[in-house]
Amino acid sequence: MPAVGVREMLAIEASAKADGWTEEGLLQRAGSALAVAIAGFFPVPGMAVGYLGKGHNAGDVIVALGVLREQFGWKTGIRRAFPTETFAPLTRDLLEASLLDELEADSVPPPPVGGPLLLIDGLLGIGSQGSPREPIAMLIREMNDLRTKRAAMVAAADLPSGLNADTGEAGAPCVVADLTLMIAQAKCGLLKAEAADFTGALALVPVGPLGNAASTETDLICPQFLEIGKAPRPFDFHKGRAGRVSLLVGSEDYPGAAVLAATGALRGGAGLITLHAPRPWVERISSRCPPEVIVRAFDRLPEALEHPADAWVVGCGLGQPTASDSSILLDWMEHHEGPMVLDADALNLLARSGRRSMLRGNHLITPHPGEFRRLCPELADLPREEQARGFARSHSATLLLKGARTLVHRQGSPLWCNSTGHPGMASGGQGDLLAGVIGALLAGGHPGMDAASLGAWICGRASEIAIWHHGHCAESLSASDTAERIGHAFNDWRCQRR
């Protein structure tokens, strides 16, 4: 989904009006879609409090609150920054007809048992500039305080108030959202790494009449506008067609990395999975692997590398091979022509050897920021988006740069930004699981950009599901919890439920 700036978004709105859509019609469509999206993220009704400015962004929230109350059983209320008579006329009319309860400061009620306390930010729209002024600033501080002290969730309607939609720069104060529901189009500033702490997870709220955007240099990974990974398998499908994944992962010190990478390949849809391990470590690894994974012992590294596969996953928890094995592995990585995910210690090996130039189009690398710094020190101090673009200018490999806003890029393609994920993913093993999922997608025939983008979205969404729907929290989430929800995430992707 191409990301647009404020000027492009205003032009899209003007085009819709020229086609006969009224401001009221667009607002009703946007507000209703916003409510449906919120109900999808939070299926158990709770207490929703709309924080209203006086523009049409507040009108979207008013409509959404009415739909949440009438169709989804939520309790609702509002906090507002200005007297009703100062509102935009359409927003004022909607508020007066809404019958929404107005709440006083310090009187936001607790949610029903089992449901969230959800604060919906409708204070400022995309045209706002600079730091918010009073009384908007006071309500922003109130929302942030409720989030910190009462575990309220914050959903921003279109953008967090105080954040510049073009640049991603945050004013003081700025709403800190757990979820930003971008209406109709992704906004380019919200996709920037510097905005991630304020936007939280990103989601798109499609609004049909506002759906036309020209291609840009930055795209959002979301199921509403990407067709990859949605076609059902033919009924006569068999494991050979699902793809064969081979993994050279794990070590005596890191058997768990091997297990998680193999689990990722299994949950990602591979038909046959072979995990290659030195003979002395086989029992330690195989005893922890899912029974569907073939654990194959080798005495010499070339025995493993000769095994036929549709895609390889190399490096997760591999440790530091001997000098002889390092040389063998590097030469094989350079000359093997099939799809290959290079993660963790495979990237560290490349960095130590100085052979980064061997990376080619069949390689898909998945560094976290520290691994990227070791691999590309000359790019490490640039903004994340420029790191990715700088790498792509010099290499034909696909890059998945991990982080709060995971980026996927390669030569000749837009920079793709992932929309899913949660701070709970900051734990060991999540990257190993991701590498396995991507390996399965490559083995199934997906090109590198598609496999990396879909894999990042799926793993991020699986973590969200574990936390928001199944009782986990940022502190408790593990990679194994993420793995258990991968199937649910695939279904959400196919059904465009997020």
| Banded model confidence at residue 71, pLDDT cuts 50, 70, 90 | very high
Q: Which of 255-269, 275-289, 330-344 has the lowest mean pLDDT?
A: 275-289
Which amino acid does the sequence have at 225?
F
Find the mean pLDDT for residues 147-160: 96
Q: Please give the average per-residue pLDDT across 148-172, as a whole number.
A: 96
Q: Is the pLDDT of residue 213 over 80?
A: no
pLDDT of residue 340: 98
Beta carbons of 417 and 191 less than 8 angstroms apart: yes
Cross-sheet strand order for the sheet of 75-80: 75-80, 47-52, 117-122, 153-157, 179-183, 201-205
What average pLDDT score do residues 205-229 get?
A: 88
- 214 pLDDT above the threshold of 80: no
Query: Please, which pLDDT band fits residue 471 given cuts at 50, 70 and 90?
Result: confident
pLDDT reported for residue 286 = 92
Give ∠ CA 423-424-430 in degrees, rounded to 5.
Answer: 105
Name the residue with tokens 């502190």.
Answer: 475
Q: Stretch 326-336: mean pLDDT, rounded?
A: 98
pLDDT above 90 (res 1) = no
- pLDDT the model gives residue 360: 97
Q: pLDDT-based confidence at 489, cuts 50/70/90?
A: very high
What is the mean predicted confidence (pLDDT) over 417-439?
97
For residue 4, what pLDDT is reported?
A: 94
User: pLDDT value at position 112?
Assistant: 84
pLDDT at 105 over 90: no
Percentage of residues in the chain having pLDDT higher than 90 = 92
Q: How far is Cα of residue 442 from the mean position of the Cα atoms in its chain?
A: 19
d(C-alpha 240, C-alpha 230), whole Å: 20
User: HSE on the CB side for 400, CA within 13 Å?
Assistant: 27
CA distance 370 to 93: 53
What mean pLDDT, rounded, does the chain reach?
95
Give the model's pLDDT for residue 196: 96
- Does residue 212 have a pLDDT over 80? no
Specify the pLDDT at position 43.
Answer: 87
Fold (CATH) for 3-216: Rossmann fold (3.40.50)
Strand order in the sheet with 407-409: 218-221, 415-418, 407-409, 398-401, 363-365, 340-342, 311-314, 244-248, 272-278, 294-298
Higher pLDDT, 476 or 468: 476
pLDDT recorded at residue 211: 85
Q: What is the reported pLDDT for 401?
A: 98
| Whether domain 239-495 has CATH 3.40.1190.20 | yes
pLDDT at residue 111 tops 90 = no
Q: Is the pLDDT of residue 244 over 90?
A: yes
Quickly state the pLDDT bin for 358 (edges 50, 70, 90).
very high
Torsion of CA 434, 439, 444, 447, to 10 degrees: 90
pLDDT at res. 27? 97
Annotated domain spans of the chain:
3-216, 239-495
Taking residues 186-205, report their average pLDDT.
96
Could you identify the residue written with the tokens 């960095």? 351
Identify the pLDDT of residue 225.
Answer: 84
For residue 200, give the 3-state DSSP assignment.
Answer: coil
% of the chain with per-residue pLDDT over 70: 100
The mean pLDDT value for 115-127 works out to 96
E strands, 171-293, in order: 179-183, 186-187, 201-205, 218-221, 244-248, 272-278
Question: Mean pLDDT across the stretch 117-139?
Answer: 96
Question: Residue 340 in 3-state DSSP?
Answer: strand
- DSSP 3-state of 34: helix
- Residue 258 is predicted with a pLDDT of 97
pLDDT (average), residues 379-383: 97
pLDDT reported for residue 470: 87
Quick one: average pLDDT of 120-131? 94
- Residue 187 confidence class, pLDDT cut points 50, 70, 90: very high
Contact at 8 Å (CB) between 406 and 418?
yes
